[in-house]
């Protein structure tokens, strides 16, 4: 009986110790890591780089010299197809979709996510008021250049 009880306690301690695993990668990227990818433009040219898709901004993020930047709107308008990690993305109606299946029907997926604060939905003592809240920004565009801001 003591062995059985000690076994159950050891298993429970193991579950408790691994219940919260923090990820070093932000949750708004659809791939676990940035991967080598290629961007096929409408004029037929091809560009390559280390890419990932940001579901929060609905834009591709390019890793360049340990800095992560979003693609500018002028580049996005020229994109035909993006290939990354054996996946195929295309742009339709100003939105990126991942192509999943083509048979009698075509199947696509659109990735989205929402950014919320730790105090969102709270009421009562310790909550924040809407008049004291701030609006989070993902990027700032200035003179045609898109500057990425750090996301939580």
pLDDT at 44: 92
- Give a yes or no: residue 102 inside a domain: yes
- Give a yes or no: residue 4 inside a domain: no
- Give a yes or no: residue 92 inside a domain: yes
pLDDT at 70: 86
Mapped onto helix, strand or coil, the DSSP state of residue 75 is helix
Give the integer Cα–Cα distance in Å for 11 and 13.
5
- Give a yes or no: residue 76 inside a domain: yes
Smallest Cα–Cα separation from 60: which of 27, 29, 25?
29
Residue 137 φ/ψ, nearest 5 degrees: -115, 140
pLDDT at 54: 87
Going residue by residue through the chain (152 aa), what tens digit of pLDDT does each one get? Answer: 677 666 766 665 655 555 445 444 567 888 888 999 999 999 999 999 999 998 888 888 888 888 888 888 888 899 999 999 899 999 888 889 999 888 888 898 898 887 766 655 555 565 555 555 556 666 666 656 666 666 54
- Give a yes or no: residue 124 inside a domain: no
pLDDT at 152: 46
Structural domains counted in the chain: 1
Domain limits at 55? Answer: 25-115+142-152
The count of other CB atoms within 10 Å of the CB of residue 56 is 19
Write down the H helix ranges in the chain: 2-17, 73-76
pLDDT at 83: 95
- Give a yes or no: residue 33 inside a domain: yes
Give the integer Cα–Cα distance in Å for 100 and 98.
6
pLDDT at 149: 63
- Give a yes or no: residue 50 inside a domain: yes
Distance from the Cα of residue 140 to its chain's centroid: 18
Give the integer Cα–Cα distance in Å for 147 and 68.
10
β-strand 95-102 against 106-109: which pairing, if any? antiparallel
- Give a yes or no: residue 123 inside a domain: no
Q: CB–CB of 111/37 below 8 Å?
A: no
Smallest Cα–Cα separation from 58: which of 91, 24, 99, 100?
91
This prediction's pTM: 0.61
């Amino acid at each position: 009986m003591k062995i059985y009880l000690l076994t159950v306690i050891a298993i429970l301690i193991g579950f408790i110790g691994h219940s919260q695993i923090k990820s070093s990668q932000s949750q708004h990227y659809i791939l676990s890591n940035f991967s080598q990818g290629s961007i096929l433009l409408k004029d037929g040219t091809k560009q390559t780089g280390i890419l990932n898709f940001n579901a929060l901004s609905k834009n591709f993020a390019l890793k360049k010299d340990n800095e992560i930047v979003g693609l500018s709107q002028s580049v996005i308008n020229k994109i035909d197809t993006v290939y990354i990690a054996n996946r195929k993305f295309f742009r339709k109606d100003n939105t990126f979709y991942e192509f999943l299946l083509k048979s009698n029907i075509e199947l696509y997926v659109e990735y989205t996510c929402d950014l919320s604060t730790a105090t969102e939905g709270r009421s009562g003592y310790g909550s924040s008021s809407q008049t004291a809240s701030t609006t989070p920004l993902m990027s700032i565009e200035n003179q045609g250049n898109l500057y990425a801001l750090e996301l939580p």
